[in-house]
Structure 1
Amino acid sequence: MLPFERIITIDRESKVPIYRQIAIAFINAISQGIIKANTHLPSTRDLSKLLEVHRKTIVAAYDELEAQDWVVSVPRKYVAVSAKIPNLKPKKWMDEVNESAYRALFQLPFKQIVVPKVKSNAQLPEVIIDDGFPDVRLSPIDDLLKIYRSYTSKKHSIRNATFGSAQGSLKLREVLASYLSETRGLNIEKEHLLITHGAQMSIYLAAQLLLAKGDVVVVGKPNYSKATQVFEQTGATVVEVGVDKSGLLVEEIQAICQQKAIKAIYVIPHHHYPTTVTMSIERRIALLKLSQQYAFAIIEDDYDYDYHYASSPYLPLASSPHQGNIIYIGSFSKLLDPSIRIGFMVAPFNFIEQGVALRKLIDVGVDGYMQNALAELIRMGELKRHIKKAKKCYFSRRDYLDHLLQEHLKSQVSYSLPSGGMAIWIVLKKEGLVEYLVQHPQLAIRRSAIELNAFRFGFASMNETELEQAVLLLKKIIEGFELQGVKGQL
């Protein structure tokens, strides 16, 4: 008789019921040719003694196997492996019969995406410096969730939510078209909007529709790395151009256009990511002229439009006269909460139509309740009131961080105070310092550039006490780094 006590192992700490563990063990043994077709299995009484479990557990396991056609049962006579099971080449029963197949690596060819190594902390660091998140404590999340809950209890609201299309809820698109027209000068209708799960999905959809292998797409250097990855995945050639205090160097773009055809340019003109600089009016006009002259698309990412402190926000490129070749992308994640994954794309209807078709291939539904709740929040004026309050608060926090940096780290850092946004781009003067900071266990920095010895310091999500704690910890770590350097020279 086969050594069933070795073939069938039971983990009494597992959340999987014991009868299921026994059934799965039999299935694995049969699949691997260890137990062949027509083999009679031990009686329920004998197997229960052998495995030291209750007889009813074995009965339940055999019933499970019979229900799945692995065995046939003749009452009061025997239980046997189904005759329909093909003869399989057996493996030795001791060769890790019960090992999960998913512990092995996938051996067939498949596409590989480069995943950057992320520092893993054994425990939560003392300070987390994000790359520019909103402060959820200020956000009208409670109001949003109250509206959400009310919609789940009304028949009319339930019908509206479940009847939504892949283009996004009709209510949100109608409200948002009006809101964007009023606040950003976009002359659009609901048909020109596609609601997405965050700005990242909008970038992905735009890239997939615009770019093919061999196409040239231009980005800033440095750039939002996730966008660069998306463009590279299409097979397109990514060409970088410089970024200075006035934004993308448009003269470099013109030089490229004179040498080769450009399919698209990805630009963040309002607060460039990661450096936070705002593109000048002169360069915006020049870029629009180049787009018309050389017939390339502009993917405009306007992720934090509303937070501009020195003046009113610059109107988007998309609000300027153009020939419909600007794909405008925005998000509510920077306004409300990073977990509220609602973004949007604005484009001519035929492009939106194809975006909807592509989106259906990867995401067939929408969160109609949340989208309609957000629409109601906008309609009630709550979003505008929140932006006004948050803008004043973030402006104060930016200036307080500036004060702290000047007081404690003036000789170690270099930066230009941004005119808006939710982060400061900090360049470190000591070579190799940013890499040291990124690896330090007491600190987590969300966005850094090792090659530029720089990082983004998100100030919006921290109150004054938290900002002071973060700067003092940075000072302490930098002093330790400098002390190591002195010791190394001795």
Structure 2
Amino acid sequence: MPAHPLALDIEKDPRGPLFLAIAEAITRDILRGRLRPGVRLPGTRALARELGVHRNTVDAAYQELLTQGWLEAEPARGTFVAQDFPDDMAAPVAISVPAEPVMVPPPLAFTDGAPDPTLVPDTALARAFRRALLSPAFRAGSDYGDARGMLVLRQALVSYLASDRGVVADPSRLLVARGSQMALFLAAKAVLKPGQAIAVEEPGYPLAWEAFRAAGAEVRGVPVDAGGLSVTTLEEAIVSAPRIAAVYVTPHHQYPTTVTMGAARRLQLLDLVERRGITLIEDDYDHDYRFEGRPVLPLAARAPADLPLIYVGSLSKLLSPGIRLGYALAPEPVLGRMAAARAAIDRQGDAPLEAALAELIRDGELGRHARKARRVYRARRDVLATALREHLGDRIAFDVPAGGLALWLRCPDVSAECWAARAGESGLALLPGSRFALEEAAPQAFRLGYAALEERQIARAVEILARCWPG
């Protein structure tokens, strides 16, 4: 059966998404009798060409109508008007376009590096959480706990940090927070006075900048190159701007470029911090994800004991963004100020969750989960790298990261913003380099967080990315 030609009356400037406007036009033709029950519609490619839109927009319109029952799809035959409509049908249009513009969540998204929540050891966590809730200590509790967090978790964490990362400390120097975002805010609040500035990597992590600004600090960008933060430029900035009292770095996998700071530059940075008397805030947000080679030890593992260094980490990256648990290791006077600030805004943490996570660390469940997650994420990283090479070739550039949950894709010959807009119209959400720029020009690049996507979704996402190439 040949496809029925369509002459759709689509609103010139639709108030909602274009695919809904196309769906509405098809519905009107069905209701008016222009499209009879059982009529075969044009393929998505043909209709997209006729309308001058992307094929995925037409596909989204067809999917909307299939979901609502206006159309029927028959494998290997095509898409048809549903058979169960009366021939004399004449009724108001059933699909309405919203009066205000709406955002339709795209079905695929490269995140900023979020983990896959489906991998969480939920059964073990639920058992541990239940035991914590039913424990005599929790039921008998008649007062608030320590603002630094439950001692049992702080003890488990310092043991974990010592064995896994070479960071040796006492539980009294560790504070548990509701995610690393809170830990960064508390750190800035404890070491920066109003009017002082903190140097940050650029491109860098915008949420950290917001935490520092919320603490009253000025944020100053320092460029990142293939070796991470430029220590030479940092020192020049400190000399020219004496108000810089701290520096924030992500040396393990720089956010967003994923580069690892080398040993020589790490030593230069530690020397600079000591000579200039500024505070170093190290964010080791994804230390657990190293796929090749030996893990690179944190700056905190090699720093002198008296160096003003705050080490920030998170279990949210290891488990799920919804499980809000971060921590900070700091010198005792600094940690005391952090705990006081935390008590003023939050009093204490989530005691049952902290107790449950302490149990997962102690019994090895967290370590087993980390090993499983590394295998899964390494496979997904390799699928992404292979697909990018196959579909985009020399039009883009990237280095396969040795770890982490994201890849930094460089596209120097095209506008990353334009590419992201075209991909968004086709159902793929991207994070272009402009999201990570502070003062300098935005890099023509994307941060492709792949961990939360299954391998088939990664392949589909890269197909869309290649099809939307703006060059």
- TM-score above 0.5, yes or no: yes
Name the counterpart of 1:283.
Answer: 265
Amino acid corresponding to residue 427 of structure 2 in structure 1: L
Distance 1:436 1:409 in 2: 13
Letter in 2 for 1:470: A
Q: Does residue 420 of the first structure (1) align with residue 411 of the second (2)?
A: no
User: What's the secondary structure of 2:204's corresponding residue?
Assistant: coil
Aligned residue for 1:447? 431
Q: Could you tell me how far 1:441 is from its partner in structure 2?
A: 3.3
Whole-angstrom distance in 1 between the partners of 2:191 and 2:431: 28
Which structure 2 residues correspond to residues 118-129 of structure 1 after superposition, within 5 A? 122-129=103-110
Residue 194 (structure 1) aligned with residue 196 (structure 2): no
1:122-137 map, 5 Å? 122-137=103-118
> Is 1:385 aligned to 2:368, yes or no?
yes
CA 214–404 in structure 1, closer or farther in 2 if over 3 Å, else same = same
Question: CA deviation digits over 1:56-86, x for unaligned, max 9?
Answer: xxxxxxxxxxxxxxxxxxxxxxxxxxxxxxx
Distance 1:125 1:259, change over 3 A: closer
Query: 2: CA distance between counterparts of 1:229 and 1:447?
Result: 18
TM-fit CA distance, 1:234: 4.1
CA–CA distance in structure 1, aligned partners of residues 186 and 134 of structure 2: 34
Q: Secondary structure at the match of 1:409?
A: helix
Matched, 1:212 2:193: yes
Q: CA deviation at 1:360?
A: 1.2
Question: Could you tell me whether the CA contact under 8 Å between 1:161 and 1:372 is conserved in 2?
Answer: no
1:281 alignment partner AA: A
What's the CA shift for 1:277? 0.6
> What pairs with 1:246-257 in structure 2 (closer than 5 Å)?
246-257=227-238
SS at match of 2:320: coil
- 1:25 is aligned to none
Letter in 2 for 1:346: L
Identity of aligned residues (%): 37
**Alignment partner, residue 348 of structure 1:** 331
The CA deviation at 1:146 is 1.8
SS of equivalent to 2:134: coil
Q: Does structure 1 residue 142 correspond to structure 2 residue 123?
A: yes
CA drift of 1:340 comes to 0.4
Q: 1:177 to 1:372 in 2, by over 3 A?
A: same
Q: Which residue of 1 aligns with 2:5?
A: none
What is the TM-score normalised by the length of structure 2?
Answer: 0.73
Aligned partners of 1:121, 1:268: CA distance in 2, in Å? 36
Alpha-carbon distance in 2 for matches of 1:181, 1:373: 20
Aligned to 1:65: none
Whether the 8 Å CA contact 1:151–1:158 is kept in 2: the answer is no
Query: Residue 224 of structure 1 corresponds to which residue in structure 2?
Result: 205
Which amino acid letter does the alignment assign opposite residue 215 of structure 1?
A: Q
Gaps of 5+ in 2: 1-100, 435-441
Q: Could you say if the C-alpha distance between residues 163 and 359 of structure 1 is closer, same or farther in structure 2, counting changes exceeding 3 Å?
A: closer
> Is the 1:434–1:455 contact (alpha carbons within 8 Å) kept by the matching residues of 2?
no
Return the offset for 1:163.
Answer: 5.0
Aligned-pair RMSD on alpha carbons? Answer: 1.9
Question: Aligned to 1:389, what secondary structure does the other structure show?
Answer: helix
Query: Is residue 310 from structure 1 mapped to residue 301 from structure 2 by the alignment?
Result: no
Secondary structure of the residue that 1:282 maps to in structure 2? helix
**Within 1, Cα distance between the matches of 2:214 and 2:389?**
42
- Count how many residue pairs are aligned between Structure 1 and Structure 2: 361
Q: How do 1:35-434 residues align onto structure 2 when only pairs under 5 Å count?
A: 122-159=103-140, 164-261=145-242, 262-322=244-304, 323-434=306-417
Measured in 2, the distance between the counterparts of 1:398 and 1:321 equals: 32
Contact 1:160 1:368 in 2 (8 A): no
CA contact (8 A) 1:438 1:444 kept: no
Q: Aligned to 1:470, which of 461, 464, 469?
A: 461
* 1:138-183 C-alpha deviation (Å, 9 max, x unpaired): 2212211221123223333434697532211111011111111111
Return the alpha-carbon distance in structure 2 between the equivalents of residues 296 and 433 of structure 1: 36
Bigger mean CA offset, 382-391 vs 138-147: 138-147
Tell me the distance in 1 between the aligned counterparts of 2:459 and 2:365. Answer: 31
Q: 8 Å contact 2:279–2:308 — kept in the other structure?
A: yes
